[in-house]
Amino acid sequence: MRRLLAAAAVLGTIALSACAASSNAASPAISAQPTPQGTFRGLGLDPPQPRPTFTLTDTTGERYDFAAETRGKPTLLYFGYTHCPDVCPTTMAEIAAALRATPEPLRSEVRVVFVTTDPARDTGKVLAAWLRNFDPDLPRKFVGLTGTAAQIDAAQAAAKIPVATDNGQTHSAEQLLYGSDDYARVAYVSGSSPDDLRHDLPLVARGA
């Protein structure tokens, strides 16, 4: 319990409320934790977070077992909603920019999974249309997931991030990056430079 709460405190400080309410790494409220390797440009997670297990529904209506589908692959996990005016689309565009700057074969290895916090409005069709704005030229399309509100709450709890409130509009701004060893040692908040993610992707792909 103590370790869980410690993790909550770390994530709480880098999580932000409201799609619109994000942070930047320069804010005094945001403190990057030193990473064991000291090599990441994102925010270090200490202790590392295991790849969570949850099952939701993808944009084609199929069950998507997150742990099984992404195991062993560098995976960026982000929770948000498509009616978000600024932070969510900005974040997705930055993720796409980082991947465009990443050479193959790593670019095709990376999974990007976006889970809606607003399942009432974000149907599979809405999610798919929104995501295709960002990845049209990328070899591996972004995965969009939805489910019941309870399932999505559970997925956030499994990922050890604060559960969204306010019909999903107040949600964590974190993007968790899981490595090939199925642990996340680094996360990003909106306002992070795409170059930080581009820099860190090869490291987590090696299981750094």
Partner 1 sequence: MSSSSTSPAPAPVGGRPRRGSGVPSGFVAAAVALVLGVTGLVVGARDSAGQNSSAGAAASSAPAPPINGTTVGDLTVYDAYIRQPASPDVAAAYLSVRNDGSSPDQLSSAYCGAAGTTSVHADSAAMQPGQEARSTPLQVPANATVSLTPAKGHIMLENLTGTLKAGDTVSLLLRFDKAGQVLLDVPVISITAPAPGGATS
Query: Which residues form the interface with partner 1 (CB under 8 A)?
Result: 1-6, 8-9, 11-13, 15-18, 20-24, 26-29, 36, 46-48, 50-53, 67, 82-87, 89-90, 92-94, 96-97, 129-130, 133-134, 153, 157-158, 160-163, 165-166, 169-170, 172-173, 181-183, 190-191, 207
Find the shortest distance in angstroms from Cβ 196 to partner 1: 13
Find the shortest distance in angstroms from Cβ 185 to partner 1: 8
Find the shortest distance in angstroms from Cβ 8 to partner 1: 5
Q: Distance between CA 161 and CA 178 in Å, rounded?
A: 14
Alpha helix stretches (DSSP H) within 159-193 = none
- Tokens 């930047």 belong to residue: 24
Q: Distance between CA 184 and CA 30 in Å, rounded?
A: 18
Nearer to partner 1, 110 or 142 (CB): 142
Nearer to partner 1, 18 or 32 (CB): 18
Find the shortest distance in angstroms from Cβ 165 to partner 1: 5
| Integer angstrom CA distances of residue 197 from 142, 179, 188, 203 | 16, 12, 8, 10
CB-based contacts of 207, cutoff 8 Å, min separation 6: 179, 180, 181
Nearer to partner 1, 16 or 205 (CB): 16
Find the shortest distance in angstroms from Cβ 78 to partner 1: 14
Q: Distance between CA 44 and CA 188 in Å, rounded?
A: 9
Strands 43-50 and 183-189, how do they pair? antiparallel
Region of residue 191 (phi > 0: left; psi between -120 and 50: alpha; otherwise: beta): left
Find the shortest distance in angstroms from Cβ 25 to partner 1: 10
CB-based contacts of 47, cutoff 8 Å, min separation 6: 3, 7
